[in-house]
Amino acid sequence: MTTLVGGAPVGAATLRAALARAPRLIAVDGGADAVQGAGLVPEAVIGDLDSISPAARAAFADRLHPVAEQDSTDFAKARRTFPGPAIAVGFIGARVDHFLACLSELARGGAPCILLGEEDCVCIAAADMALDLAPGTRVSLWPLGPAEGRSTGLEWPIDGIAMSPAGRVGTSNRATGRVTLSLSGAPTALILPADALDAMLAARQMGPRRPGPPSL
């Protein structure tokens, strides 16, 4: 599994958490600076490379994979080039338009990918999911279009609720224990606290955790 590192601020603990579970390291444009700052070497640096610093460009000169077209984001370029399951850090917490573009890219489909930030982890929910969550864990659903579903294990069940971005959404719900979701309609983002990353990985069937995080 791959860790993608983007140009938004990335804390050392967040980067370690991603690499402990997804040890293949790919830098996305300006994310190369975060990788260099952590003392790591990526397998590749991909993007239009308009944000990478001269120092990182020189350090990773033999690993640069420029993609010049401007019809897609650097995140989309990385997902096309490295299409397997991924944890993406450095894509939450800076520009809102960049984050929304990442969310739209995830909604287009392909292998599952989790956006991991300091506070949250975000993915597109599968049609049917089971999440092993501690009681009280925040569970938020954000529909990217008209959607509906059924649930168990939520303090406020979603059964019979028509959700949409301009109507009712499912943010700030809480788990009462193990949560199951059955969703239909438009893609729906699932947002959990960052410390629920392993539960999200398991629910999206994104492979076993691998030990041995790199030293930062």
Section 160-189 average pLDDT = 96
Structure confidence by residue, pLDDT tens digits, 115-128: 999 999 999 999 99
Structure confidence by residue, pLDDT tens digits, 133-146: 999 999 999 999 99
Section 169-176 average pLDDT = 95
Structure confidence by residue, pLDDT tens digits, 55-99: 999 999 999 999 987 788 999 999 999 999 999 999 998 789 989
Write down the pLDDT at residue 207.
Answer: 65
Higher pLDDT, 88 or 211: 88
Write down the pLDDT at residue 133.
Answer: 97
Section 27-51 average pLDDT = 95
**Strands of 75-216, DSSP E:** 86-89, 113-116, 120-124, 128-131, 138-143, 147-154, 170-185, 188-193
pTM: 0.91
User: Residue 209: which pLDDT band, with cuts at 50, 70 and 90?
Assistant: very low
Q: Which amino acid is at 81?
A: T
Q: Domain locations in the chain? A: 2-118+193-203, 128-186
- CA 212 remoteness from chain centre: 21
Q: Which amino acid is at 209?
A: R
Write down the pLDDT at residue 94.
Answer: 79
2-118+193-203, what's its fold? Rossmann fold (3.40.50)
The chain-wide mean pLDDT, for the chain, equals: 93
Percent of the chain residues topping a pLDDT of 70: 95
User: Residue 211: which pLDDT band, with cuts at 50, 70 and 90?
Assistant: very low
3-state secondary structure at position 191: strand
Write down the pLDDT at residue 68.
Answer: 80
The full length of the chain comes to: 216
Section 175-186 average pLDDT = 97
